[in-house]
Amino acid sequence: MPEIKIVSDYSITQALAARCHEFGDSIIHGGLGVEQQVYKNKMYGAPDFCFVFCDKATNEPVGYFIIIPLTTDAVLRYMDNKLSCATISPDDLEELEDDQMFTLFFDSMVLHPNYQTPKMAKLAFALLADALVESVRSGFPIATIF
């Protein structure tokens, strides 16, 4: 998709993270229910697994996804409805260490309706697959993804 610029990892600036929060709030219409700083913190929880799609002409976000590593305790609390996307805290994020298995959680995925196309889906899945392969090659095996 030539009109899309992909921003990931530590190239996601605080300003871009704030624009993503505002964009997500406008797309979801009911509000994200997550404070902006919490949202920004999540984008840096596992920067290898966060991607922002920006329109090349305007440099504004048209979509993004945030995938974070959760601790085992956080996964269990989430499954027991005692943890939500709005209440995930830094303590719920797993510190990534070499050769340690971890669980990835699809926290957020927002995409402008004009970009909800098969090509965009292929791009998103290709980025995720590449990030997963690179994670394993770097010594961070993924236990589960949900």
Cα(4)–Cα(40) distance, integer angstroms? 22
**CATH dotted code for 4-145:** 3.40.630.30
Residues whose CB is less than 8 angstroms from the CB of residue 24 and which lie 6 or more positions away in sequence, other chains included: 32, 39, 64, 108, 110
- Give average pLDDT by consecutive 10-residue segment, the chain, 146 residues: 85 91 78 74 80 94 90 92 86 78 84 92 90 79 65
Which DSSP string corresponds to the chain? Answer: -TTEEEEEGGGS-HHHHHHHHHHHHHHHSS---S-HHHHHHHHTTSGGGEEEEEETTT--EEEEEEEEEEPHHHHHHHHTTS--TTT--GGGBPPP-TT--EEEEEEEEEE-GGG-SHHHHHHHHHHHHHHHHHHHHTT--EEEE-
Q: Are strands 50-55 and 4-8 parallel, antiparallel or unpaired?
A: antiparallel
This model's pTM is above 0.85: no
- The reported pLDDT for the residue numbered 81 is 93
- The reported pLDDT for the residue numbered 7 is 94
- The reported pLDDT for the residue numbered 28 is 73
Break the chain into its structural domains and give their ranges: 4-145
